[in-house]
Chain A
Amino acid sequence: MSYVEAAALSPASRRRRLLRRRFLRRPMAVAGLAVVLAFVATAIFAPLIAPYSPSATDFYAVLGHPSGKHLLGTDELGRDIFSRIVYGSRASMLAGFLATVLAMTIAVPIGLAAGYYRGWIDPVISRITDVLLAFPFLILAVGLAAILGPSLLNATLALGIGAVPGLIRIARGEALSLREEDYVRAAIANGGSDLTILGRHILPNMLSTLLVQATVTIPVAIVGEAVLSFLGLGVQPPTPSWGVMLEGAQSYLTQAPRLAVYPGLAIVLAALAFNLLGDGLRDILDPKTQR
């Protein structure tokens, strides 16, 4: 019975099935995916999940301990910490996903062009990549914040641009090696246009690498957003963000150290989940690490 079923499947869906089975065999990766989805859902449905408004102050319950009323206690203005963490996930997820999408949109076409066309384009792009790499992302972000002014959008922009040079290198390397594959040579010999070859043959074959890269770029951007907001270069208070919350907690390290603990735990959990997912995807998609 199952034999007939398998034979009826197309090669593509059979591959998908195989990958799904391989993925499900990795409990850490599955757990990572579950936590990632939970964070995304939290960000989308924040108003439904949070018991209080993130900006509602209660001056009778300042620096309150965790209780039935306030799950994780309250901060220096009596705001519910749990609700602020829930709302804070919005800035983190937004920065994480948008920065990665931005970086991919810029880096992949450039990397493809450099790796596929070679010629004069390749060294020029590689040199420009070197120049961008000479500016650590935080310095780049700091510079951008100085020019554009601090905001979540500009922080996301800076994080995205900061991720571009590394991704260009990866896309270029992939295009460079795929270009020598027989089926690409065959397509060239068949007279396929550059656009067809890039879009039909090279890009689809590097998607798995790009997917893994995206999964490991997102946590970097999430931590980056927290850092920039912590330094006052990202989300501006009173808008809740995990970095902003940690910045505020600095003044209360002696009285209420838990203010510094919970938002940090949220960052670690989110970043760890994406990293676990990325590691799992790399394992199942990259045949070189197959055991």
Chain B
Amino acid sequence: MGGFILRKAGAALIVLFLASVLVFSGIRAIPGDAALALGGEERDPAVTAQIRHKYGLDRPVPIQYLHWVGLAVRGDLGRDSRELSVSHTIVTRIPLTLELAGLSLLIGTLIGAVAGVLAAIRHGRLADYLSNGIALIGLSVPHFWLGLLMIIEFSVNLHWLPSGGYVSFRADPIGNLRHMAMPALVLGTGLSAVVMRQMRSAMLESLGADYVRTARAKGLSEWSVVCKHALRNSLITVTTIIGLQFGALISGAVITETIFGIAGFGRLTIDAVSQRDYALIQGVVLVTAAGYVLVNLAVDVLYSFLNPRIRISGGAA
């Protein structure tokens, strides 16, 4: 068990290292001299040299990388173009996105799992076709369009919900949920389509397995067969899928936060790019990659708890 987690953690560290190299070299691939860009109108070579020295741009690239990573590990991602701490900006924005992502995961998993199980139990019947059709439409409808439609209907026409903005949960719990309802629903529905399709095929597979036949043969109720035997084994597959959806969730958060005017981590990403604030872009991308690696490590560990075979055989994947 310990060995398994250590091996997975080692692989995650390697991925994280390569990702940081990629982020670091990506920023350096931008055409133009960073020192000149930082100097703005100032073209005096002495000033440029001074800037170059201040940001360590006159040192060898590997040394620059080590310096950058060393600071990043200690939580210092440098300063953005307005001289604000990048780490501080990111840390203040992340809770909003976490709330959005958490609510969407909740909505997506609940709808997706229930629909998936239903479709599998009613395989080949109306409920199956219906949930399959809705899932297919759900996969084809872009988040941002769904968001716009919801704003038109629930904010402009019905005046039920605010069309954008954010209030903190501590200041006004009801207001917070009212602001979060539409964004979370938008992000959650896309996820639910993916979860539903996976859940359905996983359930169909387990429902056809020998142990389910045995469970039925020994006279267990249908409820107990479905929930205790088939569902438990299907959840393993679905856990992995949810882990893999982290990237889609972040991408979705970028769009959803832009439409609903939530000043979260996703919005920060777009702002950083439109302002061409390279320190901020670097920080945001690095944090995203680190988040992805950590979530997948957590899923791997969780997976090994859910499925003892992986633990024992050491996990081929």
Q: Give chain B nearest CB distance to A269 CB in angstroms.
A: 8
Q: How many A-B Cβ pairs are below 8 Å? A: 129
Nearest B residue to A131, CB-CB:
B18
Query: Within A120-138, which residues are at the interface with B (CB < 8 Å)?
Result: 127-128, 130-131, 133-138
Query: Within B95-151, which residues are at the interface with A (CB < 8 Å)?
Result: 136-137, 139-145, 148-149, 151
Contact B273 A136 (CB under 8 A): no
Chain B residues with Cβ below 8 Å from A268 are: 137, 140-142, 145
Nearest B residue to A137, CB-CB:
B251
Q: How far is the CA of A260 from the CA of B149 in the complex (A)?
A: 8
B-side interface residues, number (CB < 8 Å): 47
Query: Within A150-167, which residues are at the interface with B (CB < 8 Å)?
Result: none
* CB of A233 closer than 8 Å to a CB of B: yes
* CB of A221 closer than 8 Å to a CB of B: no
- Complex interface bits, B176-194 against A, C-beta within 8 A gives 1, otherwise 0: 0000000000000000000
- Complex interface bits, B26-62 against A, C-beta within 8 A gives 1, otherwise 0: 1001100000000000000000000000000000000
Query: Within A200-253, which residues are at the interface with B (CB < 8 Å)?
Result: 219, 223, 226-227, 230-233, 246, 249-250, 253
Chain A residues with Cβ below 8 Å from B246 are: 136
Query: Within B266-281, which residues are at the interface with A (CB < 8 Å)?
Result: 269-270, 273-274, 276, 278, 281
* CB of A93 closer than 8 Å to a CB of B: no
* CB of A257 closer than 8 Å to a CB of B: yes
Main secondary structure of the interface of A (DSSP, over half): helix
Contact B29 A147 (CB under 8 A): yes
A-side interface residues, number (CB < 8 Å): 40
* CB of B203 closer than 8 Å to a CB of A: no
* CB of A76 closer than 8 Å to a CB of B: no
Contact A127 B142 (CB under 8 A): no
* Contacts from B to A (Cβ < 8 Å): 11, 14-16, 18-19, 22, 26, 29-30, 136-137, 139-145, 148-149, 151-152, 156, 163, 246-248, 250-251, 254-255, 258-259, 269-270, 273-274, 276, 278, 281, 284-285, 288-289, 292-293
Closest 3 CB pairs of A and B: A136-B247, A138-B251, A264-B145
